[in-house]
Structures are given as C-alpha cells and as structure tokens.
C-alpha cells in the first residue's frame, strides 16, 4: 500500500512510501517514543499532489482510512470489539494525550487496493457507523494527517484486528452513502441551474433596460467571448476530470462543477465552503469575472468588460456605447428642440 509520511505538523511537504500492510502494522506497533506531541511524525493512508498537503494540493488516492476519537468516554478496547465483531481489518492504537481515565485512540483501516480519494468520505461514514458515530470531526477531512508515536508518560495501547479490508467489509454501507450523496448533489445542481438561469435572465433584462438602441450589453458580449473553464483555470482552480478544485479548498476535493443552463450557457457552481464563488448560485463567465477580478463589484466589472471587448469596427465596446449614447442624446435633444419650435409656431 502507498502512504505519505510528514515529519512535522508545520511542514506540508511529505514523503510518499510504499509498504505491505503487515509492515505498517509493525511500524505502528513499534512506534518510537517522543518527548512531546508536536515532535511526532504524521501519516496519511493516501497520496497527495507532489506529496504535499499544502494549500492548492489535494488528496488524490487512498490506500486506507483513519478515524480519530478524543471524547474520552469509549475505550480503545470497546472500539476494537465493535470492529472485530464487524470483521474489519484494522489497527486500533492510543494517541499521545490518551489517559486511563480519558481514553483517546485512532483506527487505521486499509483498503483492498488504491481507491479514488472521492470515496474516502463514504468509507469513513460507514466505519464511523460501526463504532457508533463517535469519530472526531477531523476524521472526515480528506487532507487531515494523523500523529503516531508513544508518550513515555502513559501506556501505549496497540491492537491489530484481523478481518476484511474496509472497502470490502463495508461495501454495501459505503455504496448506499455514495448513492445518497450522489442523488443529493444532483438535486442541488439542478436547483442551482434553475436559479442561475432565472437570475441571469433577470440581470440581462435589467442591463438591457439601461441600454439605448444600438448599444451592446457588456455582460452578453463578455459571456460570448469568454469560457468559464478558462477563467477558473486562470484564477488557480485546478481541473480534476470534469470538475475543479478551488485554490483555497481545505479538503482537496473537486467541489466546483460545470453546469449547463436551459439557455445552453455553461456556469460554475461551487460546493466548497471557503470559495468566493460558493454562494449557492451557478455563475457564468461574467459572474466569475465580477467575483474573482472585481470582488463582486458589478459596476466595476461592467466598466472593465466594456474596455476589454471590441466591436467589429475595432473600437472598444465602451467607446462604441459612449458614441451611441451621445448620438442618442443628440437626436433626442434635436427632436425636443424641433417639437418646441413647432409648438411656438402653432
């Protein structure tokens, strides 16, 4: 199995290694003693981009999953019994700050083969259910790495449970969670698309209402000239299949999906919690330009788009609209003057 070791919590660069599960078990069983928690190395049953868990990188594959328990009420031996009864191959070992009167422990469970990182959440869900849904929240974080080592001031608990690999033993439960999540995600995406089309239509109508005859909408022109995927890439979003990973993603999962509205225009919808475009709406190219380049200031984005775009005559859209507006105003003023003269004459 392939795993990654980090020599420090503060060093995002790790070392990717390969070993047999039996070797990993011996490494955890014979873990070295450290004077403090921060001095321990960290392990992840999986691989990262360039073996780094830093910002912008993501977990790419998994060879197992890790669960952390730190509530101090359930003992490691109780957890081991539940895991043994479920027939799951794993190691249960105490953590550095565990005490006899306040137990803390960790579960390391290998998979039968390397799997896509996107499956990790569903396996964690299924394994957590086996022990009563008591795993710490960080167990669900894809990029989370875990200390391992002994505390010289406390007894180290280590138990190797024999059984089936976690993805084999919990296949049905993990698959059910995956299918449920897939359905919920599809429903969210459909709702986002419908809302995006509605909002886009309203905005285009508002913009159109501010235009005089002959002027061109910067929003429509920008969307015709720019690609959603290209804008995301320019701003550091990383393509992962048909989806994208946000630059600030802490999970490393591809949470930005590309949707197509009823009008045929592509839009980006983000499931990331810390992504500037994650506001529950799907965004077209101009939206992304507005949010990512102008901090959501639509007027500034409109002005910038009008300067960037050119008409078929080679002048900027801004200049074209200004000239058209001046002509419109001059014509309107001339008509008003003529009407005034005709009124006086009559």
pLDDT tens digits for range 8-45: 999 999 999 999 999 999 999 999 999 999 999 999 99
Looking from the CA of 342 toward its CB, the CA atoms found within 13 Å total 6
With helix as H, strand as E and coil as C, how does 3-46 read? EEEECCCCCCECEEEECCHHHHHHHHHCCCECCCHHHCCEEECE
Q: Which band of pLDDT confidence, cut at 50, 70 and 90, is reported for residue 59? A: very high
pLDDT at 282: 82
Instruction: Report the chain's mean pLDDT, rounded to a whole number.
Output: 85
- CB proximity list for 109: less than 8 A, separation 6 or greater: 64, 65, 66, 67, 88, 89, 90, 91, 127, 165, 166
Q: How far apart are CA 95 and CA 279, in angstroms?
A: 38
For the stretch 223-270, pLDDT in tens is: 888 999 999 999 999 998 889 999 888 667 788 989 877 677 888 988
Average pLDDT of the residues in 207-222: 67
Share of the chain above pLDDT 90, in %: 52
Q: Is 270 helix (H, G, I), strand (E, B) or coil?
A: strand
Q: Within 13 A of 160's CA, how many CA atoms are on the CB side?
A: 11
128 SS3 class: helix
What is the model's pLDDT at position 91? Answer: 98
Contact 82, 132 (CB under 8 A): yes
Between 42-46, 71-75, 104-108, 115-119, the lowest mean confidence (pLDDT) is in 115-119
pLDDT at residue 208 in the model: 47
Distance of CA 63 to the CA centre of its chain: 21
Residue 62 confidence (pLDDT) above 90: yes
Q: How far apart are alpha carbons 261 and 193 in whole angstroms?
A: 6
Tokens describing residue 227: 């690609």
Q: Where are the alpha helices (DSSP H) in the chain?
A: 21-29, 76-85, 120-130, 166-169, 171-209, 218-225, 228-234, 285-288, 294, 298-308, 317-345
4 close to 15: Cβ distance less than 8 angstroms? yes
pLDDT of residue 25: 97
The answer to whether residues 66 and 106 touch, using CB atoms and an 8 Å cutoff, is: yes
| pTM for the whole structure | 0.58
HSE-up of residue 325 (Cα within 13 Å, Cβ side): 10
Residue 248, pLDDT score? 81
Residue 107's alpha-carbon distances to 25, 60, 68, 267, 296, in angstroms, are 12, 21, 7, 41, 44
Instruction: Scan for tokens 């070791």, then name that residue.
Output: 5
- pLDDT at residue 331 in the model: 66
Cβ pair 128, 56 in contact under 8 A = no
Cα separation, 48 vs 51, in Å, equals 5
Q: How confident is the model at residue 171 (pLDDT cuts 50, 70, 90)?
A: confident
- More reliable by pLDDT, 22 or 318: 22
Say which DSSP state 291 is in.
I
Please state the domain extents for the chain: 2-169, 184-336
Average pLDDT over residues 135-150: 94
Q: Convert the pLDDT of each residue in 121-139 to its tens digit.
A: 889 999 999 999 999 999 9
Contacts of 19 (CB under 8 A, 6+ apart): 1, 3, 27
Identify whether the C-beta of residue 285 lies closer than 8 Å to the C-beta of residue 228: yes
Residue 109 in tokens: 């469970």
Stretch among 58-62, 117-121, 164-168, 185-189 having the lowest mean pLDDT: 185-189
Q: pLDDT: is 90 or 209 the higher one? A: 90
Tell me, rounded to whole angstroms, the distance of Cα 242 from its chain centroid: 14
- Residue with the bigger pLDDT between 125 and 202: it is 125
Output the pLDDT for position 277. 92
The C-alpha atoms of residue 6 and residue 93 are separated, in whole angstroms, by 19
Classify residue 79 as exposed, middle or buried by CB count within 10 Å of its CB (0-12, 13-18, 19+): buried
């Amino acid at each position: 199995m392939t795993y990654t070791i980090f020599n420090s919590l503060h060093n995002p660069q790790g070392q990717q290694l390969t070993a047999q599960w039996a070797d990993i078990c011996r490494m955890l069983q014979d873990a070295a003693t450290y004077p403090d928690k921060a001095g321990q190395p960290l392990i992840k049953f999986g691989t990262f981009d360039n073996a780094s868990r830093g910002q912008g990188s993501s977990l790419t594959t998994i060879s197992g999953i890790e669960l952390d328990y730190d509530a101090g009420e359930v003992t490691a031996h109780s957890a081991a019994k539940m895991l043994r009864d479920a027939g799951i191959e794993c190691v249960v070992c105490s953590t550095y700050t565990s005490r006899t009167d306040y137990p803390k422990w960790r579960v390391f469970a290998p998979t039968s083969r390397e799997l896509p990182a996107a499956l990790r959440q569903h396996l964690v869900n299924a394994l957590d259910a086996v022990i009563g849904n008591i795993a710490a929240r960080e167990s669900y974080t894809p990029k989370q790495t875990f200390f391992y080592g002994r505390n010289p001031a406390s007894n180290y608990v280590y138990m190797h449970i024999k059984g089936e690999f976690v993805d084999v033993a919990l296949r049905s439960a993990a698959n059910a969670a995956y299918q449920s999540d897939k359905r919920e995600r599809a429903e969210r995406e459909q709702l986002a698309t419908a809302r995006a089309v509605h909002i886009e239509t309203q905005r285009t109508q508002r913009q159109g209402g501010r235009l005089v005859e002959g002027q061109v909408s910067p929003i429509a022109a920008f969307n015709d000239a720019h690609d959603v995927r290209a804008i995301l890439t320019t701003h550091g979003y990383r393509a992962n299949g048909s989806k994208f990973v946000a630059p600030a993603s802490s999970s490393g999962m591809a949470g930005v999906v590309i949707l197509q509205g009823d009008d045929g225009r592509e839009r980006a919808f983000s499931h990331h919690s810390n992504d500037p475009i994650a506001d529950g709406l799907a965004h077209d190219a101009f939206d992304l330009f507005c949010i990512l380049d102008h901090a959501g200031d639509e007027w500034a984005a409109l002005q910038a788009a009008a300067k960037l775009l050119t008409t078929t005559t080679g002048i900027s859209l801004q200049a074209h609209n200004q000239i058209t507006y001046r002509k419109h105003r001059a014509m309107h003023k001339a008509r008003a003057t003529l009407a005034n003269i005709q009124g006086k004459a009559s």
